[in-house]
């Protein structure tokens, strides 16, 4: 499954995502990819594309999130 690392994420974008993810930090690709579930991958992709101002793609990833609590926090 794709992750933020498939989309040429920059160090600055990782720093922003780390600020948006309380209790969890993104450090290296292999650790990241092996430690999160699909919903968190979609949430991070949604946040990444929101940061980039591409709200259409961000919404596509938001709609893939199955966990209703996570989806709620992503939209509020």
SS3 67: coil
- Grade residue 62 by pLDDT with cuts at 50, 70 and 90: very high
32 φ, ψ to 5°? -60, -50
Give this prediction's pTM. 0.94
Contact 69, 75 (CB under 8 A): no
pLDDT digits (tens, 9 = 90+) for 22-46: 888 998 999 999 999 999 999 999 9
Dihedral sign for Cα atoms in the order 63, 64, 69, 71: negative
């Amino acid at each position: 499954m794709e992750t933020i690392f498939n989309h040429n994420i920059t160090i600055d974008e990782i720093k922003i995502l780390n600020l948006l993810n309380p209790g969890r930090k993104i450090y290296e690709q292999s650790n990241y990819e092996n430690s999160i579930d699909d919903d968190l991958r979609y949430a991070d992709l949604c946040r990444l594309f929101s940061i980039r101002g591409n709200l259409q793609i961000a919404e596509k990833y938001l709609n893939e999130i199955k966990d209703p609590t996570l989806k709620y926090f992503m939209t509020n």
